[in-house]
């Protein structure tokens, strides 16, 4: 039964099996417990409640009195009957558990400084996009994505990353994970080589898509191509390997593309932070060397923010149709208004301006990290990206000290395909994108303290 209380609809289902009063008590008690009635909410007068529920006023008053006695409600002269504030239960909700895990200082890799999101520029782009969008933009669309964004990306990726990207070979996705999942599905599983060390979550994406994952060792020159002999595809991060920060050596780039041509294999290029290079011009995408054998994947997650859920794939011609069909049967198409806004942001060059500003900001942060640690520790992977690898002798000891100080960092040990193997390099994977500007120096001070204690 629906009751209309103070302008708010609340669905109540009093069970009359145990009597009207007991049924009403149980319905109100459940509404308080599950949050449909929040602390401080005012309940209707007993006369009104009785009229709406078709019960006597005495029954309604008795139910209120019982719940006041149990502590679920409070009743004060002049303020009516309200929901009481209940004490916290022992078992935390997912939300409270997540809040409890938030560290004082967060230097984990993987995210940009979301406080730099260009809200004003995005709002202007969105307004212009909506003002000029045809009515069909609000209908179901091409599973490959809006032509406006695919055209804008074609020009941007060509000039900024050296990608050969005709609009008809671009498929817009809701992010890198969806792109990787779609490719795995289209390849019908198969053996997929993935960098070792590398991101465990991406390995799980491939496994859940039916792929058989095998490790491909990464050394100081990048992925070891000899490890790919039995694979039908390989996933690589050539511009700035995650997590070691190594850039794929030119000889390895040639060997990798030679492997793809000789075997008919597919290279999946994850260009997750390719725009952020600090000491020289960005290394061009691998895709430009073998566009018929490389599926290039990029996103706006590191440049703008993960919340947008906008990514793209530039595919070899023979994969476009199959991937578009898989996309169609996955979610039909990525939402259109965000695509139109991003296209406008790129075409107006506001996207380039934002990336340049971020590049300068992150370079300053990289330099601060080196100033703080470079004289005491070997810091690798510093030429690009939003993270660096700080070598340590004992990850477990340093991580324990970091936890005591409320500092969260990544570590190399969690990225190996087979954890716990003795003799492997150890290190902290330090992200300098996540913290806000004012907190970052404090986070570095704590990191320095933890490393000195653990020396």
The number of C-alpha atoms within 13 Å of 7 and in the hemisphere containing its C-beta is 1
Between helix 350-373 and helix 119-132 the angle, nearest 10°, is: 160
List the beta bridge partners of residue 430.
388
Pairing of strands 379-380, 387-391: antiparallel
SS3 of residue 409 by DSSP: strand
Which pLDDT value is given to residue 85?
Answer: 83
Mean pLDDT per 10-residue segment, the chain (455 residues): 51 73 87 85 88 88 87 84 73 48 86 93 97 94 97 97 97 98 93 97 96 96 93 96 96 97 96 90 90 98 96 98 97 96 97 96 94 85 94 93 94 92 92 88 93 69
List the beta bridge partners of residue 196.
217
d(CA 68, CA 119): 47
Which pLDDT value is given to residue 454?
Answer: 52
Domains in the chain, please, with CATH?
2-83 (1.10.10.10), 105-114+353-453 (3.90.1150.10), 117-352 (3.40.640.10)
Q: Widest CA span of the chain, in angstroms? A: 87
SS3 of residue 67 by DSSP: helix
d(CA 319, CA 290): 14
Cβ atoms < 10 Å from Cβ of 67: 22
Instruction: Report the alpha-carbon angle 197-110-97, nearest 5.
Output: 105
Which pLDDT value is given to residue 89?
Answer: 47
CA pseudo-torsion sign 122, 128, 133, 138: positive
SS3 of residue 37 by DSSP: coil
| CA distance to 92, 134, 142, 276, per residue, from 149 (Å) | 43, 14, 12, 22
d(CA 184, CA 209): 6
Q: Peptide bond preceding 328: is omega within 30 degrees of 0, i.e. cis?
A: no
Which pLDDT value is given to residue 18?
Answer: 65
Residue 6 CB burial class (10 angstroms; 0-12, 13-18, ≥19): exposed
């Amino acid at each position: 039964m629906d009751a209309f209380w103070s302008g708010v609809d609340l669905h109540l289902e009093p069970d009359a099996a145990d009597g009207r009063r007991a049924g009403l008590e149980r319905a109100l008690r459940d509404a308080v417990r599950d949050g449909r009635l929040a602390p401080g909410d005012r309940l209707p007068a007993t006369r009104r409640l009785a009229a709406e529920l078709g019960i006597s006023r005495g029954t309604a008053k008795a139910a209120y009195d019982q719940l006041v006695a149990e502590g679920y409600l409070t009743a004060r002269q002049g303020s009516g009957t309200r929901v009481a504030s209940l004490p916290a239960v022992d078992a935390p909700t997912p939300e409270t558990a997540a809040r409890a895990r938030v560290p004082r200082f967060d230097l984990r890799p993987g995210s940009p400084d979301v406080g730099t999101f260009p809200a004003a520029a995005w709002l202007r782009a969105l307004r212009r996009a909506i003002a000029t969008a045809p009515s069909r933009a609000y209908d179901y669309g091409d599973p490959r994505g809006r032509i406006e964004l695919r055209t804008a990306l074609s020009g941007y990726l060509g000039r900024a990353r050296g990608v050969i990207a005709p609009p008809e070979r671009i498929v817009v996705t809701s992010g890198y994970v969806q792109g990787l999942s779609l490719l795995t599905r289209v390849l019908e599983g198969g053996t997929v080589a993935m960098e070792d060390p590398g991101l465990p979550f991406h390995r799980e994406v491939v496994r859940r898509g039916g792929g058989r994952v095998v490790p491909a060792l990464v050394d100081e020159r990048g992925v070891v191509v000899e490890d790919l002999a039995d694979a039908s595809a390989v996933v690589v991060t050539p511009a700035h390997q995650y997590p070691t920060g190594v850039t794929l050596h030119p000889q390895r780039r040639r060997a990798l593309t030679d492997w793809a041509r000789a075997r008919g294999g597919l290279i999946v290029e994850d260009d997750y932070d390719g725009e952020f290079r600090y000491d020289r011009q960005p290394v061009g995408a691998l895709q430009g060397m073998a566009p018929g054998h490389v599926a290039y994947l990029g996103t706006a997650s590191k440049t703008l923010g993960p919340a947008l859920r906008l990514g793209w794939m530039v595919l070899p011609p023979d994969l476009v149709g199959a991937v578009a069909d898989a996309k169609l049967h996955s979610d039909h198409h990525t939402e259109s208004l965000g695509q139109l806004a991003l296209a406008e942001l790129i075409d107006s060059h506001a996207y380039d301006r934002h990336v340049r500003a971020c590049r300068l900001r992150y370079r300053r942060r990289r330099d601060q990290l080196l100033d703080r640690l470079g004289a005491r520790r070997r810091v690798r992977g510093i030429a690009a990206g939003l993270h660096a690898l700080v070598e340590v002798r004992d990850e477990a000891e340093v991580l324990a000290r970091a936890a005591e100080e409320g500092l969260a960092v990544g570590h190399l040990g969690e990225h190996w395909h087979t954890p716990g193997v003795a003799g492997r390099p150890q290190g902290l994977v330090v992200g300098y994108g996540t913290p806000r500007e004012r907190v970052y120096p404090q986070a570095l001070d704590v990191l320095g303290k933890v490393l000195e204690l653990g020396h």
